[in-house]
Amino acid sequence: MSLPNPISVSTDTVVTYPDGDLTSTGTVLRVQPLADGRTAVVLDRTPFHPVDPVWPDQPADAGALTTDSRSYPIVDAVVGATDGTTLYVGDAPVRTGTDGWAFVVAHLVDDASGLEPGSTVTVTVDAERRGALSAGHTACHLASLALNDALSSLWTKEVPVDGRGRPNFDQLAITTSRILEGGSLDEYRIGKSLRKKGFAAAELGPRLDEVSASIDRTLAEWVASGAGVSIVRDGGGHGLGQRRRWRAELPEGAVEIPCGGTHLRSLTEVTAVTVALELGEADGALTLTMRTTAQPA
């Protein structure tokens, strides 16, 4: 079924979305038809953010591949992985960044006719959607730090802390995180193991309004500071599998969080970030939902 691919994929796709890039020109390395009828197109470099199936927090960008003769709408993009022979698209047996594997952006198109290894293509990312997702992702990280801060008095034992030295509720309790355009949706589970670690779960309900107000106060302070935001790359390369960190120059000091997504460049790009908290129950455990909203400037 698969087409001959004279150029093999042996190194990570060079990704420029961490720098905020929206367009670039690259060379097609591989064109692979998928079982669902779509085709995965791998380039040597791209500004297109793909969803990572291992931790699918930020969805794929929208946009298109363009050649001299036509344009191919990108219907989705996922992190692919190859051991040098097989290209896994969305079902890699290893985590992104594992040694001995190359990690690539698989741009999915409905019809790839005319595209072949060696073709030169321009990638264009929808700027409006990217901007809204970047705002949502930055707001998500800020809200998680503000949540940790607001819940810090509910811990009775020592647990791992976040970049600001607060007990890292976000890391210990999160089950899913979804970046939306202009916000995010985080789900936390407060079960037996979190209680054993010293989290006073019974106090959360009575204090929920107070916690929510505290988060909004902290977020308002940070937004007012207009703090700079950047992505720090570990090591020198620009490959997809390279570890990266989100960094915010908050008033009391810089904070970093491991992150593979896209972000604002400064908090002057938003006028407000606020949250709404909701407690629930699932499988005998308490759940906390945090909806975060960022108002664009």
Interface with Zn ion (CB under 5 A): 259, 261
How many CA atoms are closer than 13 Å to the CA of 208, on its beta-carbon side? 15
- Closer residue to Zn ion (CB): 117 or 260: 260
Pairing verdict, β 270-282 and 285-296? antiparallel
What is the rounded distance in angstroms from the CA atom of residue 140 to the CA atom of residue 187?
Answer: 12
Token pair in block for residue 90: 């969305």
* CB 140, min distance to Zn ion, A: 7
* CB 246, min distance to Zn ion, A: 6
- The helix-helix angle for 127-150 and 208-225 (nearest 10°) equals 130
- Closer residue to Zn ion (CB): 59 or 261: 261
* CB 279, min distance to Zn ion, A: 24
What is the rounded distance in angstroms from the CA atom of residue 186 to the CA atom of residue 175?
Answer: 8
Element (H, E) at 129: helix 127-150
* CB 197, min distance to Zn ion, A: 23
* CB 171, min distance to Zn ion, A: 12
- Closer residue to Zn ion (CB): 259 or 270: 259
How many CB atoms neighbour CB 282 within 10 A? 11
- Closer residue to Zn ion (CB): 136 or 261: 261
- Closer residue to Zn ion (CB): 43 or 79: 79
- Closer residue to Zn ion (CB): 18 or 167: 18
Buried b (16+ CB within 10 A) or exposed e, 234-248: eeeebbbbbebbbbb
* CB 221, min distance to Zn ion, A: 21
Distances in Å between the alpha carbon of 297 and those of 132, 223, 264, 294?
11, 11, 12, 9
Instruction: Kindly calculate the radius of gyration of the chain based on its CA atoms and give it in whole angstroms.
Output: 21
Token pair in block for residue 266: 């400064």
Q: Which residue is nearest to Zn ion (CB)?
A: 259
- Closer residue to Zn ion (CB): 107 or 244: 244
Q: Collapsing DSSP states into helix, strand and coil, what is residue 14?
A: strand
* CB 187, min distance to Zn ion, A: 15
